[in-house]
Chain A
Amino acid sequence: MPKVMNWQIGREMDYPYEGKRPDTQFAMIIDTNKCISCQTCTVACKTTWTSSRGQEYMFWNNVETKPYGFYPLGWDVNILSRHGVQDISGPVYQGKTLFESAPDGSMVLGYLPEDVDYAHPNISEDDSVGQLAQGAFLQMPHMQWMYYLPRICNHCTYPACLAACPRQSIYKRPEDGIVLIDQSRCRGYRECVRGCPYKKPFFNSITRTSEKCVGCYPAVEQGRQTQCTMTCIGKIRLQGFISPPGQERPENPIDYLVRIAKVAKPLYPQFGLEPNVYYIPPIHVPSPFLKQMFGADVEQAQQAYRKAADDKQLLAALLLFGATPSILHGFREQDGQAIGVDKKGGELVRVPFKEPIFVRPGFDEQFQTHRSNAT
């Protein structure tokens, strides 16, 4: 089996195909600290992509409450328990990836969820890990906690769905790294559903094929960010492109946040797929749980994020989340403002670090009415 370089685990690993990175790679950063689980993203995705027969319970974008929420039910604890205990302590991953753990006669270690696992897309919403004792007050990290985890397909550099499909019906686009299932070649074997540890390909029992998040490719082709990013009420997402390892551009906000400020981390990097959705970990959650989910150096990301107010560059990148529908190729900080630019350096958006404050009198002379304050 060919060896490919996975920068997220700091080493080479086995993958059934030769490693060939796309020219540019679709990527997204999600700030879990700001998500309010309003599900606007879920609905935006649903109305755009999955409103047909057979897609009733299909959510390419979902938001689940961790640690007890899952869609499909128990997806991560299921694959984690099959994967077994792995050494995730160091910068170079010592454990096995899911490809290296593949049983004989399979490309990847996986499992097929049961039909009912998809029946409760928002199970355990807002459930905390426990109750606070009488008289307790919250400390950092919180003693009792929960957080929201918005999820889409990770458009992995080494997709397990693609590796598992015996018909090669799944392909990764060289122009943007978006992973798609060819709906004219798919024969509904569900090997991708079984193989993807994130459970992001879904089976449609009316078309009898598998379907998955398309990374809003018609929008991305036009230089627009995805529906889930643009509609996000909390402005918690930024979608763009990540550069190949070693070719980071500090002015690209995705490269900056992931590789330079190191404030955003991949989801379960130990699986070995090099997923391209990166999460700013919740700062109130104890790190042992987060280490398993986002990798060994998650505390560093938490600390960097907590200092964002003092780091103009970092603050500028964070303020550009949800600021424009266009994909940002560059950004800079200038005179207390975050400026986002397109491929040619043209300005797309400008966000002030401090919102201006407007004060107006309580009585409106023009309309002869009293106004109450609204924030």
Chain B
Amino acid sequence: MKRMCSTGFLAATLSVLVAGVAQAGAQDAAPGSLQALRVSGTGPITEVAGATWSQAKAVKVALQPQVVATPTNPNAAIKEVTVRSVHNGEWLALLLEWPDYTKSDAVVVDGFSDQVAVEFPVVYKADAPPSPMMGNAGGRVNVLQWRAAMQRDLDQGREAKIQDFYPNAPDADLYYTNILPAEAGQPYMGAKGLGNAVSVHGHTPVLDMMAEGFGSLTTRAKQEANGKGVYRDGAWHVTITVPMQPTADNAPKLEAGHSTIVAFAVWDGGSQEVGSRKAWSDWVGLTVGK
């Protein structure tokens, strides 16, 4: 079956966006572009406060409602995200902060998770950047999405259980886990049994993915990104950190002294934002400091 889409409208929208992007990419030191400041240390940079971030320049990035792909979100809740960037020669990190008066990290039918995502072109060409809206065919992007619900699991040190959402819920009489060894129980675990990254309780609250257009978002074979989210004083403070020299395909090489572009998306769980129901930004220039 062939999906219908208003191709003409999409193409027009993309060409406008891409024109804006080329400019942002070319002017590395343009006002509003990010500088990843060199800091000391090694390994992933996950802390959300402290000396690491004290010198990094804050850039306010405007967000707009996603109204191109169906379903749309014309009344997106979050309008702006404050971004800082640092690197230690091995790992680059972005600190993303936005006010949110409802902390949403419990996922039930009508309960959605707060989320933020960072997007890089896998290969950056200043004259032909990919679409900032999930990339395009031939313009692959690397998408790193932090989820409050996954942060909650990590903070609790275990995967979610039904009593987290319904404190008085009794366990069922018998679960497969009571009788079957882990491997034999796998077919009964749905998405978990298949290793779907949104289901599996892992070591990171950040999903490391790639995309080539709307609806194509796919988990990377290797999950390299990390990060941490802290909810404090009515705002989220989230780091997303990636290795500058990825060890698997579909992630960008980030080299000191070079420039690239980066885009952002924020979901407000309390407003039932999820998937394409989000606020997104255009590309922003990012210079990796020497």
Do A and B come together as binding partners? yes
Task: State the majority secondary structure of interface residues on A.
Answer: loop
CA distance A2 to B2 in the complex (A): 10
**A167 to B274 CA separation, bound complex (whole angstroms):** 12
Interface size class of B (residues with CB under 8 A): 35 or more
In the assembled complex, B1 has its CB within 8 A of some CB on chain A: yes
Chain A positions within 8 Å of B, measured between CB atoms, are 1-2, 16-18, 20, 51-54, 56, 104-107, 112-115, 117-118, 164, 166-168, 183-184, 186-191, 193, 202-209, 211
* B189 interfacial contact with A, CB 8 Å: yes
Given A107-B71, A164-B71, A193-B109, 10 more A-B residue pairs with CB atoms under 8 Å apart are: A166-B215, A183-B196, A186-B198, A188-B107, A189-B276, A205-B106, A205-B111, A205-B160, A207-B189, A208-B107
Within the assembled complex, what's the spacing in Å between the Cα atoms of A54 and B192?
11
* B170-202 CB contacts (< 8 Å) to partner A: 172, 174-177, 188-196, 198-199
Are B3 and A168 in contact, with the CB atoms below 8 A? yes
Alpha-carbon distance between A117 and B110 when the two chains are bound, in angstroms: 10
Q: Does A166 lie within 8 Å of B196, measured CB to CB?
A: no
Assuming the contacts A183-B190, A189-B275, asked whether A113 and B198 have C-beta atoms less than 8 A apart, the reply is no
Q: How far is the CA of A303 from the CA of B6 in the complex (A)?
A: 48
Q: Nearest Cβ in chain B — how far from A56, in angstroms?
A: 6
Q: Contacts A52-B176, A56-B162 hold; do A187 and B109 have CB atoms under 8 A apart? A: no
Asked whether, in the complex, the Cβ of B109 is within 8 Å of the Cβ of A118, the reply is yes
Expressed in whole angstroms, the Cα–Cα distance for A54 and B193 within the complex equals 13
Residues of B within 8 A of A106 (CB): 70-72
Q: Considering the complex, give the chain A residue whose CB is closest to the CB of B112.
A: A190
For the residues of B in contact with A, the DSSP-based class is loop
20 pairs, A vs B, C-beta closer than 8 Å: A17-B4, A18-B2, A20-B1, A52-B176, A52-B189, A105-B72, A113-B109, A114-B109, A166-B69, A166-B71, A184-B191, A184-B194, A184-B196, A186-B198, A191-B71, A193-B109, A205-B111, A205-B162, A205-B165, A208-B191
The residue in chain A whose Cβ has the minimal distance to the Cβ of B276 is A166
- Chain B residues lying within 8 Å of A54, measured Cβ to Cβ, are 162
Partner of B198, one of A17, A18, A209: A209
> Taking the complex as formed, is B23 at the interface, i.e. its CB lies under 8 A from any CB of chain A?
no
Most chain A CB within a 10 A radius of its CB, from B174, B192, B214 = B192
CB distance from A339 to the nearest CB of B (A): 37
Chain B residues with CB under 8 A of A183: 190-191, 193-194, 196
**Residue numbers in B under 8 Å from A190 (CB-CB):** 109, 274
Q: Which of B72, B73, B111, B190 has the most CB of A within 10 A?
A: B190
Specify the chain A residue showing the minimal Cβ separation from B147.
A208
Distance from A196 Cβ to chain B, minimum over Cβ atoms (Å):
13
Q: Chain B CB within 10 Å — which of A18, A187, A204, A211 has the most?
A: A187
Q: How many Å from the CB of A78 to the closest CB on chain B?
A: 13
Cα of A115 to Cα of B172 in the assembled complex, Å: 19
Contacts A168-B3, A188-B107; A207 near B162 (Cβ below 8 A): no
If A52-B175, A183-B190 touch, whether A107 touches B70 (CB-CB below 8 Å) is yes
Q: Chain B residues with Cβ under 8 A from A52's Cβ?
A: 175-176, 188-190
The complex places the Cα of A199 from the Cα of B71 at a distance, in Å, of 18
Please give, as numbers and ranges, the residues of chain A lying within 8 Å of B172 by CB-CB distance. Answer: 51, 56
Distance in angstroms between the alpha carbons of A306 and B165 in the assembled complex: 49
Residues of B within 8 A of A16 (CB): 3-4
Residues of B contacting A18 with CB < 8 Å?
A: 1-2
B20 within 8 A of partner (CB): no
Closest to A206 in B: B160
Seen from chain B, the residues whose Cβ lies within 8 Å of a Cβ on chain A are: 1-4, 67, 69-74, 106-111, 149, 159-162, 165, 169, 172, 174-177, 188-196, 198-199, 214-215, 217, 272, 274-276
List the B residue with the shortest CB-CB distance to A107. Answer: B70
Closest Cβ of chain A to B211, distance in Å, is: 11
Minimum Cβ distance to chain A for residue B26 (Å): 32
Most buried by B among A112, A189, A204, A207: A207
CB distance from A14 to the nearest CB of B (A): 10
Contact B108 A205 (CB under 8 A): yes
Complex CA gap A183/B275 in Å reads 16
Residues of B contacting A186 in the complex (Cβ-Cβ under 8 angstroms): 191, 196, 198
| B214 A166 Cβ-Cβ under 8 A | yes
Contact indicator B194/A53 (Cβ below 8 Å): no
Cross-chain contact A208 with B70 (CB below 8 angstroms)? no
C-alpha gap A254/B187 in the complex (Å) = 32
Which residues of A lie under 8 Å from residue B108 when comparing CB positions? 115, 203, 205
From A2, A112, A117, A208, contact of B272 by CB (8 A): A112
Contact between A203 and B109 (Cβ–Cβ < 8 Å)? yes
Contact status A209-B190, CB under 8 Å: yes
Closest residue on chain A to residue B207 by CB atoms: A187
Known: A115-B110, A205-B107. A168 touches B192 (CB 8 A): no
Asked, given contacts A193-B109, A207-B190, whether A51 binds B175 with beta carbons under 8 Å apart, the answer is yes
Q: Within the assembled complex, what's the spacing in Å between the Cα atoms of A16 and B1?
A: 10
Q: Which 7 pairs from chain A and chain B are nearest by CB?
A: A105-B72, A189-B275, A17-B1, A209-B191, A183-B191, A207-B191, A207-B199
